Amino acid sequence: MATITLQGNTVHTSGELPAVGSQAPDFHLVTTDLEDVHLKDFAGKKKLISIVPSLDTPVCATSTDKFNQAVAGRDDVVVLVVSADLPFAMKRVCEAQGSDKVVPLSMMRSRNFAKDYGVLITDGPLAGITARAVLVLDENDKVVYAELVPEIAQEPDYDAAIKALG
């Protein structure tokens, strides 16, 4: 279990992020077209996984936009934005801000992703959704960067995550 804060108040997660050097756990998430996807569906690409509480909030939308811009022109990278939002809301937000280089993925059918990745918030007003975190995986799904943002209202370390992509 990890301890983070929400506007200065302590909350806890279900576990720890996958460690740098470990293999990322498989996942089952849902696209904005209501299709099921797994980690293997992004095989052969570097993956930046931006885990957000809700894409429909200012900090989450900002981080999605910044990662979208950072990977423009890179065919070797996919940015996966994971949240508990419904796919319809995720699609609306991404289209409204022009975030066309990210793949929004919803946990609507299962919270196993949040449990397996250690980011499920277990107490406080946001219990049941995710903490803010960023993972970078290499082409073979090995974790090369992991950041659990200590305060949910803060943005992640963009520079460190982008640098980890190589």
Residue 93 has pLDDT above 90, yes or no: no
Nearest to 28 by CA among 118, 109, 85: 109
What single-letter amino acid sits at 127? A
pLDDT score recorded for residue 43: 95
Q: Which two tokens stand for residue 166?
A: 């190589």
pLDDT one-digit tens code per residue, 61-74: 889 999 999 998 89
For range 138-147, the mean pLDDT: 97
Structure confidence at residue 135 as a pLDDT band (50, 70, 90): very high
For range 132-141, the mean pLDDT: 97
pLDDT score recorded for residue 56: 85
Domains and CATH numbers, the chain: 3-164 (3.40.30.10)
Contact indicator for 30, 87 with CB cutoff of 8 Å: yes
pLDDT one-digit tens code per residue, 76-85: 999 999 999 9
pLDDT score recorded for residue 95: 84
pLDDT score recorded for residue 10: 96
pLDDT score recorded for residue 94: 84
Q: Which residues are catalytic?
A: 60
Q: Which residues lie across from 78 on neighbouring strands?
A: 47
Which parts of the chain fold into alpha helices (H)? 58-70, 87-97, 112-116, 158-164
- Name the DSSP letter for residue 132: P
